[in-house]
Amino acid sequence: MKDEILSNLNDPAQLEKLYRANKSAFKEAFSALLPELKDNSLTGFWNARLNFTREEISWGTARDLLFVIVAALVAGLIAKLPAFLHIDEELFYTRNISFIVFPALMAYFAWKNRLSAGKAAFITGAMLVGVVFINAFPADPKSDTLVLSCIHLALFLWSLLGFVFVGGALNDLEKRLGYLRYNGDLIVMTTLIVIAGAILTGVTLSLFRLIGLDIEHFYFNYIVVFGLPAAPILGTWLTQANPQLVGKVSPVIARIFSPLVLVMLVIYLVAIIYSGKDPYNDREFLLIFNALLVGVMAIIFFSVAEISKNAKNLREVWVLFPLSVVTIIVNGIALSAILFRIVEWGITPNRAAVLGGNTLMLINLVLVAVQLYKALVKKTDISGVGTVISLYLPLYFAWTIIVTFLFPLIFGFR
């Protein structure tokens, strides 16, 4: 996108086409190029246009609102299928909870990006394969591969959503990074919606109790069941129609939490030594350790996606580089622990999944840390860090396919 903008600086019509084709990518590329374009007569116009902030909230068109309402209702109906079809709730939700919201979000972005029929058919086919596979899984509550498939199926659908979000343009690394930013913004917006919904729920139930009516059973079985799946759908619509709503909040959260997480990790590693706990012989501790690792990696990726919008923003890099180094140490401990358990007690589906996942994350973290170091010594800019993350994302998608669909066959569904 940067090269296209530079080559068309004196062609306003072509610049407009580039902007309309991908507004978010155009804005990011233009912002990065802004210091170089000060002498161009069009720079001031585009800068004012791209950074114009609405004072009011945009509710989109009537078609947008109708689409969101229908998508939310469909998601709620899927969530109510156990009640309608008299299906065991635990069996249904364990296997199908990912299919409540992800299809609606995919439909939204397929519609907004005008996804081609061929790509839409591919996404639909991939989802159907997932639905059939996970529901045809032998009913064994002790099956480790079933649990692994259910967890990684959510990540598989998350990857498919990313494919739809970028409009099938897999080679566009800026759009991939934009997908990570969207996830961060969605978490912020959905959390606010859920908090507001929780307050409304408490007030509503209390008011009806005051007049002697107990509506709790009805409220939770119909209002909440439909409201929870609607939250991320509504959050997506609001963030896409009004990027200014969380556009300034997300970077602030990234800047606040990154140093706090760094301090917490360092203290936690020291506390592990002091407490005598270790992940080598304590399985539960190893699981928590890995969950911590995934959470910290998510914060690093989210922060990189945010700061990459400003090519000269080195202040955050001074936090992210040591954070990535400490996270590499945490990952190394977790990886050595799982290798120790495999040598001592043999290979199992869980150990194989954790080994593969930790290896992927360790390689990714090392690559990110190298790019962060290069940004610190000014051998490259911050955008190089985002490029590394974007290039690596398909490997996680491939791993979700292996664990979701191949592990049960390799380990005999045990």
- Specify whether the CB–CB gap between 230 and 76 falls below 8 A: yes
Q: Which two tokens stand for residue 365?
A: 């973290």
| Predicted model pTM | 0.84
Query: Sorting pLDDT into bands at 50, 70 and 90, what band is 197?
Result: very high
DSSP 219: I
Distance (Å, rounded) from C-alpha 98 to C-alpha 78?
A: 11
Give the pair of three-digit tokens for residue 404: 């979701």
Q: For 205-254, how does the pLDDT look when each residue is reduced to its tens digit (9 = 90+)?
A: 999 999 988 899 899 988 999 999 999 999 999 888 777 677 667 677 77
Expressed in angstroms, the distance from the first to the final Cα of the chain is: 48
* CA distance to 111, 162, 180, 245, 353, per residue, from 165 (Å): 10, 5, 10, 20, 27
pLDDT digits (tens, 9 = 90+) for 307-363: 766 555 567 788 888 989 988 998 898 899 899 989 988 999 999 999 999 999 999
C-alpha distances (whole Å) from 343 to each of 292, 348, 358, 395 are 24, 11, 17, 26
| CA–CA dist 239, 237 (Å, integer) | 6
40-96 per-position pLDDT tens digit = 666 767 766 666 655 566 666 788 888 889 999 999 999 999 988 888 888 899 999
From the list 293, 304, 292, the residue with the least C-alpha distance to 391 is 304
Rounded CA-CA distance 323/299 in Å is: 10
Q: How far is Cα 278 from Cα 131, in angstroms, rounded to an integer? A: 39
**Residue 188: pLDDT band by 50, 70, 90 thresholds?**
confident
The answer to whether 95 and 137 are in contact (CB under 8 A) is: yes
CA dist 183 → 150, 356, 362 (Å)? 21, 24, 22
Domain residue spans in the chain?
2-50, 62-244, 248-410
- Please enumerate in sequence order all residues whose Cβ is within 8 A of that of 64, keeping only pairs 6 or more positions apart, or say none: 237, 241
